[in-house]
Amino acid sequence: MAKSPWKRFAKKSLEERLALIHQLGLLSPKEWEDLAQNQTLPVSTANQMSENVLGTLALPFAILPELLVDGRTYTVPMAIEEPSVVAAATYAASLFNRSGGCHTNIHNRLMLGHITLTDVKEPQTVVAILEDHQEELLTLANAAYPSIVKRGGGARAITVKSLGEGFVSLYLYVDTQEAMGANMLNTMLEALTPQVESLTGYKSLMAILSNYALESLVTATIELDWRFLSRNTQEAEAMANRICQASQLAQIDPYRAVTHNKGIFNGLDALLLATGNDWRAIEAGAHAYASQSGSYRGLTQWRNHKTKQKLIGHITLPLPLATKGGSIGLNPTVTAAHTLLGQPTAKELMAVAASLCLAQNFAAMKALVTDGIQKGHMNLQLRSLALLAGAKEHEVDDLVSSLKAHQPANLALAQALLKQKRKAHNK
């Protein structure tokens, strides 16, 4: 087996990491130069992207070097400030990759929006009228956004439903191709509204995209060999059983489920931020999906296959991700993130994101049911503490070593130890 160029990547200096990225040709020369010189989003561009702009806010831009998904290895960009998240995902991915990687199924890739009528006196009559005019309304929707039709997308279906209490909603399903599609949906829906009102004789309350993207579901699955949990088969089986119990707990206790899912979003949000996707919309839809049974539940399920000696995990959630539109083409670091990923399609990015969710969840649960969550976090937390105390880059490692020997560590202790070290050094 060829030696991985990513070996001990976390131990390399920043300059060495950038040199490896350059050597592997994962970025264009311009993108690499911008990253190396920390040329991120220009304020002049930011001023056009938002209102009342004063500047920009940076986050650490990191990578998960290798994540094997559907037979293809991806370098995954992650923008996040929380200690240990990237390290945990990288660890889990290394085990997943050795077990053949994640396999995914994209159930569909449609976005949905609705026109809702109010004060409807004969709802079933209105439903029947709109259903009878589906083809006419689909044609009108596509005429409102012809560019998406030229690219192979467009309005695909219409359903109509009486919601009770005088509400009737028409739901429009659109293939938005590589875009998330909010503007596309809203343009089509607003174009349909006058005709819907004319056909039914009722006024529309609103016409708007829905972020509950049940037509953009993706499933990721991993079959992790026990031998990667422990060389001792009995220990591996016991650990797999505990992970399955942790998964079961997140299905029956919403107090655990919320934190369970937050851990999943540690990785997902980092990828969404890095790739310029609307993490707020994705989170809202996924949390709604986690509540579809009427009780809030964990998004992953794990089971132990004793015959195969494998821990099998899967996750299904709505991920209407985009590779075009919005700020994706405006923010240089976001553009570089898509290059690092190999310019994936929207469906490929959905697959990567779901697989990252599974890796992040596995890493968290393994830590929780073995050593506890703090052990894995501690080193990076101490590094953050050292930086908060004012340590320079060349002072951090030494200060972290001292903090480990003087538990419990806190900011006052870190500042005192740093002062002592500097005083001793200056003598």
Catalytic, 262? Answer yes
Report the alpha-carbon distance of residue 348 to residue 147 in Å, rounded: 23
Catalytic, 377? Answer yes
Cα-Cα-Cα-Cα dihedral sign, residues 393, 397, 402, 408: positive
Choosing from 262, 375, 406, 419, the catalytic residue is 262
List of residues 6+ apart from 197 with CB closer than 8 A = 117, 203, 204
Q: Which two tokens stand for residue 247?
A: 């998964």
Contact 221, 102 (CB under 8 A): yes
Instruction: Find, among 6, 189, 177, the residue nearest to 94 by Cα.
Output: 6
Q: Which two tokens stand for residue 152?
A: 């192979």
How far lies 152's CA from each of 178, 223, 337, 345, in Å? 11, 35, 26, 14
List of residues 6+ apart from 111 with CB closer than 8 A = 173, 174, 176, 180, 181, 182, 184, 185, 209, 213, 215, 216, 320
Choosing from 225, 278, 283, 395, the catalytic residue is 278
- Strands 103-106, 154-164: pairing is unpaired
Contact 159, 138 (CB under 8 A): no
Three-state SS string across 69-138, please? ECCEEEEEEEECCCCCHHHHHHHHHHHHHHCCCEEEEECCCCEEEEEEECCCCCHHHHHHHHHHCHHHHH
Report the alpha-carbon distance of residue 386 to residue 124 in Å, rounded: 66
- Kindly report whether the peptide bond that precedes residue 77 is cis, defined as omega within 30 degrees of 0: no
Report the alpha-carbon distance of residue 63 to residue 342 in Å, rounded: 13
How far lies 267's CA from each of 104, 178, 274, 361, 412, in Å? 17, 22, 11, 9, 31
Contact 357, 266 (CB under 8 A): no
Contact 161, 127 (CB under 8 A): yes
| CA-derived radius of gyration, the chain | 25
Catalytic, 82? Answer yes
Choosing from 22, 34, 70, 82, the catalytic residue is 82
The catalytic site residues sit at: 82, 262, 278, 377
